[in-house]
Structure 1
Amino acid sequence: MEQLKGKLYLMSAFALAGTSVIAARFVTGHLGTFTITATSLLLASLALLPLCRRNLRKAIPLMSVRDWVTLLLQALCGIFLFRMFLLQGLLHTSSGEAGVLTGATPAATTLFAWLLLKEPLSTKSLFGILSTIAGILLLQGILVPGNALTMNHLIGNILVLCAAVSESLFNILSRISSLRIITDRSNPLNPIVQTMLVSAIALLLCLIPSLFEHPVWSLMSLGIIEWLALVWYGIFVTALAFMFWYAGIKRCTAYTAAAFSGMMPLTSLVLSVLLLGEHIGWHQWSGGLLVMLGMLLIGGCQTNMQPTKLLDLSASK
């Protein structure tokens, strides 16, 4: 039952995360990268604070230096770097391609688990990684005969891939943190409290660079659609999605999370066509299918791995 709940939480988290590309498209070009991130995080924090104020006062005095460092790294990789790369990439590539390219996260997560945690890399996982790479090359047009490769487009897709790598580091950090809590038999942070603290830390990281983007004047010039996109980015993509993520990753393995991360590029691709009216060519659909196949191969071969086995692997390092 707990694993089923965890899977539902993860599915909801990645479905909401998939809308981040669409929400960002409405404000990219109107606001600076760090202004978008800081404003959405401020909105998320304001929504979360009334829900966790009492638990927050109890949790903070009990937190160690290691707990704060873990949250700092999660905020840096999962929010600050991820959104910086994604928002910059959207200036040079389409929302549909950006959404699909975030599907490289499972492949990067598997590679990090193999390189950093020394976890075994199965043949199925290896084929999943190769399928993801082929899909990315097809999306970029490198495997399409006669397709002209534009540097601007390439830079945009590379930036989105950097966002996927940042998200992968966040996944690994989150799972290591969950396993450490089990090993130490300590009380885990409430998902709402954890989301609140990570959002607040990421907000502090964004404040100084956002000041160079003239945020007050830019925000005052926004229309209702842009403000609604910011509210969605803050409340749903940040607050609610991260709450679901922390609730799910405590019940499932990192590889299970990788399997469900397919909801993110799928949601982004479909919404890009339906809401933004973007045209998706055959090579983009084919590349997207290869990326999603890679996610299924990577996640499917490891979803039956028990958390205790992963715990043993990490504790032995």
Structure 2
Amino acid sequence: MQQGSQKIYFFLAMTAVLWGGNPVAVKGMLGEMSPTMIVLLRFLGISMILLFFMFYKYGKAALPPRKHVPTLILMGFTGVGLNNGLQFTGLQYSSAVNCSLVAALSPAVTAVLAVVFLHEKLKLRQWLGILISFLGVIYLIAHGSLEVIKNLSFNRGDILFLASQISWAIYSVLGRGVMEDLSPMATTAWAGVAGTFFMVIAVLYQGTGVTFQLSNFAWLSMAYMIIGSGILAFNWWNEGVSSVGPNRTAIFSNVIPVAGMILSVAFLQEHIGWREIVGGLWIITGVYLATRRSSMEPQTT
């Protein structure tokens, strides 16, 4: 049993690394493809693969219950369209390092929305963690400058990163009710299908032409985002939730910004200064406090 848990923890760590590398892959592709086209191709690939697997294994039983269709459409709009679209667009204006750090705020934002819409209760420690993580994001996107805050002259990309995490938090809250009847894989697949349709509309509106004259790096990056940070990462994450519980699994989200920072420096030669380090520590510390359960609290499985 212990060996099995160690194996799951290894794959959860790999998941965090794969998700940390996602902004790096997108950043490298932006010179060849628009953000909306990247989102469209990524989730078209993810959805097709997952749907093929589900229909092959379950047949018509893979179809979602009619009552969940409106929610899945909304999840596709928020979790696929807005989350990825805003994040990938933000990478045109800001760094992959900042993207990874702001993305670490996601559990804290989700916790706040769960209080508002699902009437969940948070302890004082969790509220403190949320406050610290939000202050860390403000410090990061303000580059440690009070003048930036006073003049509201934030980097456009960092603001888009923050908006994308709010969109992902909405997606996560919506998904809790859906996954009472659907598996995480089915939820991901059908939300991906809905999101793909929204991205088709966005691409047609922008008039972005489809081109297959991409560099080898772009093709490898797209394969990475579909298979690596898409199919494999989601599957391993869901397996972790099933095997060791959502609370222990959530701890590995703290690895994502660290992996993102290291990969951004290694592959994009981005600079990490003391502002990024201080802001990142605030965010990670706050999220840890907001998501950690004490030994006296029940473990949800």
- Normalising by the residue count of structure 1, what TM-score does the alignment of the two structures yield? 0.81
Find 2:227's aligned residue among 226, 229, 235. 235
Q: Is 1:166 matched with 2:159? A: no
Q: Give the Å deviation of 1:127.
A: 1.7
Amino acid at match of 2:27: R
Query: Is the 8 Å Cα contact of residues 175 and 249 (structure 1) preserved in structure 2?
Result: no
In 2, Cα distance between equivalents of 1:17 and 1:210: 24
| Distance 1:81-1:245 versus aligned 2 partners, 3 A rule | farther
| Map of 1:269 onto structure 2 | 261
CA displacement, residues 30-67 of structure 1 (integer Å, 9 cap, x when unaligned): 22222111111222234435433323523245x32223
**How far apart are the structure 2 equivalents of 1:84 and 1:16?**
19
Identify the residue that residue 138 of structure 1 maps to in structure 2. 139
Q: Report what 2:76 is aligned to.
A: 75
Q: CA deviation at 1:199?
A: 2.3
- In the alignment, the residues of structure 1 paired with residue 122 and residue 143 of structure 2 have an alpha-carbon distance, to the nearest angstrom, of 27
Distance 1:109 1:82, change over 3 A: same
CA contact 1:40–1:233 (8 Å) conserved in 2: yes
The residue type paired with residue 56 of structure 2 is R
The 2-side partners of 1:146 and 1:159 are apart by 20
User: Could you say if the C-alpha distance between residues 117 and 255 of structure 1 is closer, same or farther in structure 2, counting changes exceeding 3 Å?
Assistant: farther
**Closer/same/farther in 2, CA of residues 278 and 47 from structure 1, 3 Å limit:** same
C-alpha distance in 1 between matches for 2:68 and 2:149: 49
- The question of whether the paired residues in 2 share the 8 Å contact of 1:77 and 1:170 is answered with yes
Please list the CA deviations of residues 59-94 of structure 1 after superposition, one character each: whole Å capped at 9, or x if unmatched.
Answer: 245x32223233323322222111011011111111
1:67 partner letter? H
| Alpha-carbon separation, structure 1, partners of 2:150 and 2:32 | 28
Aligned to 1:111: 112
Tell me, yes or no, if structure 1 residue 288 matches structure 2 residue 289: no
Q: Which runs of 5+ in 2 are unaligned?
A: none
List runs of 5+ in structure 1 lacking aligned partners. 182-187, 309-317
Deviation at 1:163, TM superposition (A): 1.0
Which residue is equivalent to 2:45?
A: 43
Contact 1:171 1:254 in 2 (8 A): no
1:6 Cα deviation from its structure 2 partner: 7.3
The CA RMSD over aligned residues, in Å, is: 3.1
Query: Compared with structure 1, are the counterparts of its residues 166 and 254 closer, same or farther at alpha carbon in structure 2 (3 Å cutoff)?
Result: farther
